[in-house]
Amino acid sequence: MLVAFEVGQSIDLEQSRGLGATGVRRPWREGRRAPPQFGNRPAPLRIFQDAAGIAGICGLEPQRVQIMLYDFGAASVSVTFPLAGPLESLPALSNELYGHPGLLAAARARVEALLETIRPAIVRPRVAEPLEDYVIFQIDAFDPPLTPQVLLREHGATITRILRAEQAAVSDEEVSDALSARLSAGANDLAIVDWNAAMVYDPEPAETCAVLEFANVQLLEMRFLDEQLDAALEQAYDRLARAGRGFAILRSYAADLDRIAELEADAAVLFERVTNALKLVGDQYLSRLYNLISGRLHLRDWDTSIVRKLQTIGGIYEKLADRATARRLEVLEWIVILLIALEILIPFLRGIGRS
C-alpha cells in the first residue's frame, strides 16, 4: 500500500542524509526494462524501516516499510504485505485496505517522525492534511502457472473486484472498463492499472511499481495545489463581492496581486519539478504505463484545472485593481474640482465678509 504526503516546498536530500535519514539514492535501473537514461532525476532518497507497530490486515502481517523522499517536497510511504492463497481471497483484502484508517494514521505518524529529524533540510516544512493512497497487488507467479491471456479470460471479474475493492459481483461493463488500461512487455507479464489500485503480474516489478508510485505522488501534489487555489478563489470571490462598498473602492490590491504572482510561481515551479523528475525517454513500455496511469488518475485534467484557476484568480484581482485605480482617479478628479471651486469662491466670500 502506498500513501503520499506533501511535506514541504522542497527537500535537500543530501542534507537529509546528513541529519540522520539513513537511506540510499540510486536510479530506478534495477531490472531489464530500464535504459541508461531512465530514472527519477534527481534520484529520490529511499529509507527502509521495520514494520513494528503497524497492525496486520486480514491475517497478513506487514513485512517492511519504505519511505521515499522526493526533492520537490513529497514523501511516499510504502507498506508491504505478503500475498499467498487463491486469487478469490484478494477482493476482501482490497476492500479492507481501501482507505484503511489505521494504515493511513500509521503512515502519517512515520512521516511526522521523519520530518522532525530532517526539518532543517526542508523549505516550509509541514505534513499537509491531504494524502493520496494507492494499492499495488504484485504477483510473481501462479500455481498452477497462468498466462496473462488465461488470467484475463478466466479471472477478469475477480480482478475487477480486486482493483475496485468490490465485494459483490460486477457487471460485464465494469469488467471491460476496469481491464481496459493494461499492457505487457513480454508474453508472461501483465500490468493492469485503475484509479484506486493496480495489479502487476511480473517477477521483476521494480520499475513498474516505481512509476505507479511516482504517479500517485504527482496526483497528491496536484490535489494539494488545487486546494490552495480553491482557498485563494474563495478569497477572490469575497473581495469581488465587497468591492465598491464604502472605502473598499479605494483599497489597493497590490498585496493580493503579489500573492497571486507567488502562487503562480509556486505552481509553475512545482509542476516543472514534478513533471521533469521522471525520465522515460527510450523506454516505450514505461512511457505507455505512465500514460495509462496518468489517464486513470486524470493528471492532465488536474493540470488543466490548476491553470484555469490561476488564470481566473489573476483575472479577478487585475479587474479589482483596475476598478480601484479608476475609482481613486475619479475621487481625485472630484477633489481637484472642489479645490478649483473653493479657489473661485474664496475671493467672493472675503468680499462679503468685508461689507
Residue 284 is predicted with a pLDDT of 80
Work out the pLDDT band at 277, boundaries 50, 70, 90. low
Distance between CA atoms of 191 and 289, rounded to whole angstroms? 8
* Cross-strand partners of 75: 5, 69
278: helix, strand or coil: strand
At 214, list the grid cell: 511516482
Non-local (6+) Cβ contacts of 160 within 8 A are 166, 170, 174, 175, 178, 179
Tens of pLDDT, residue by residue over 3-27, are 999 999 889 998 998 887 777 766 6
Under 8 Å CB-to-CB from 306, ≥6 apart: which residues?
A: 222, 225, 226, 229, 267, 271
Does position 32 have pLDDT exceeding 70, yes or no?
no
Average pLDDT score over the chain: 84
pLDDT at 52 over 80: yes
From the list 119, 1, 2, the residue with the least C-alpha distance to 60 is: 1
Fill in the DSSP letter of residue 186.
Answer: S
DSSP per-residue codes, 259-313: HHHHHHHHHHHHHHHHHHHEE-TT-HHHHHHHHHHHHHHTHHHHHHHHHHHHHHH
Pick the closest to residue 312 from 233, 200, 217, 203 (CA basis).
Answer: 233
Q: How confident is the model at residue 108 (pLDDT cuts 50, 70, 90)?
A: very high
Instruction: Taking residues 36-57, report their average pLDDT.
Output: 80
- Average pLDDT estimate for 248-261: 62
Burial class (CB in 10 A: 0-12, 13-18, 19+), 214: buried
Q: Is the pLDDT of residue 248 over 60?
A: no
Confidence (pLDDT) at 87:
92
Does position 306 have pLDDT exceeding 90, yes or no?
Answer: no
Query: pLDDT grade, residue 236 (50/70/90)?
Result: confident
Please indicate whether residue 229 or residue 7 has the higher confidence score (pLDDT).
Answer: 7
Q: Report the C-alpha gap between 89 and 44 in whole angstroms.
A: 34
Q: Cell for 345?
A: 469662491
Phi, psi at 201, each rounded to 5°: -100, 95
Whether pLDDT at 328 is above 80: no
Report the chain's C-alpha Rg in angstroms.
Answer: 28
